[in-house]
A = this chain, B = another copy of it.
Amino acid sequence: MNKKMSILMFSGDYDKALAALILANTAREIDVDVTIFFAFWGLMLIRDSNKLSDEDKTAAEKMFANMTPKHIEDLPLSKMNFAGIGKKMLVGMMEDSDTPPLSAFMKGALNKGVNMKACKLSCEVMGFSEEELLDEVTVVTAEDYLRDALESNIQLFI
């Protein structure tokens, strides 16, 4: 199809990550190129829980790294308080309707060749090094994101 989709993944919420990764998987299935640029809270989606390290971190960065979700399945819902519904309930309803969990959509996206980029500035502020992220992720600048987004047919900020 020779079309491209660019997603700026700002949010670190389970439900929004689900939306982004379902779109990314679906796009690859119809041969659309996909790049996801993870920035700010979005970095929480691409931490490799086997490679976390406290080396070279300031005290605040260490605290931050330990307070935030270390695994994609641990992400909270954007609407925790929305009429009181919790993530447990949603995940249970996903199981009931045979919908795979978030981590399966991440695995699918990686297998299908979705381009995974992490925002350099966000990594610097939050104290994450490229070594702590999934192997498939490259750290790039906001300018790199923009140049890619300008050539895309769809751009979404999630």
Contact = CB atoms under 8 A, between A and B. Distances in A.
Contacts of A5: 146, 150
B19 A40 contact: yes
Interface in A71-90: 76, 79, 82-85, 89-90
A110 interface: no
Given A67-B85, A76-B82, A97-B127, 5 more contacts: A19-B157, A22-B142, A29-B143, A93-B125, A93-B126
Nearest to A152: B154
A124 B97 contact: yes
Nearest to A127: B93
Contact of A60 (B23, B96, B146): B96
A83 B99 contact: no
Contacts of A67: 83-85
Interface of A: 1, 3, 5, 8, 10, 12, 15-16, 18-19, 22-23, 26-27, 29-30, 32, 39-41, 58, 60-61, 63-64, 67-69, 76, 79, 82-85, 89-90, 92-94, 96-97, 99, 121, 124-127, 141-143, 145-147, 149-150, 153-158
Nearest to A94: B125
B124 A99 contact: yes
Contacts of A29: 143
